[in-house]
Amino acid sequence: MNWITLALKNIKLILISIGIAALITSGIWIYFHGKSVQRMSTQIELLQTEIEQQKKVSEILNEVNQEYQKQRDEREKSLLESLRSLREVKENDEVSNKYLDQPIPDGVRTVRERARCLHLPYLCGETERDENSSD
């Protein structure tokens, strides 16, 4: 009977030791898990800030793009109106028609192309832009 009592006492000590070890392990796990959650929370806040900044940049770029498109449309409209007016003058006035049928001198053509490329660069080819930038 002594050995049974001794075994029961040892089992109680073993169970108490296992319980204490489980509590300590749980405490350590909770501590490190809390640290991990805190790091993730900080990273989430940083990512949210970055997303907000990206949205602001995107909005600004959209506004700039819309303004650029508006200016481009206005320039194209102006160019088309000028070409239409020139065509009307050429069709309705014989003197102007004869004058406009004359070949344009190379120097005047070059200046005209430079001006066109400065104001409407997207209408110029790469070689025209390169030639104009080198002068």
**How do residues 7-37 score in pLDDT, each as one tens digit?**
777 888 888 999 999 999 999 999 999 999 9
Question: 64: which residues sit within 8 A by CB, 6+ positions away?
Answer: none
- Residues 56 and 23: their CA atoms lie apart, in Å, by 49
What does the pLDDT read at residue 49?
Answer: 95
Q: Look at residues 86, 84, 91, 133 and name the one whose alpha carbon lies nearest to residue 113.
A: 133
Question: 104: which residues sit within 8 A by CB, 6+ positions away?
Answer: 112
Predicted model pTM: 0.49
Chain position carrying tokens 């109106």: 81
Is 111's pLDDT higher than 80?
A: yes
Share of the chain above pLDDT 90, in %: 42
What's the token pair of residue 135? 């002068």
> Which of the two residues, 135 and 86, has the higher pLDDT score?
86
Over residues 62-73, mean pLDDT: 94
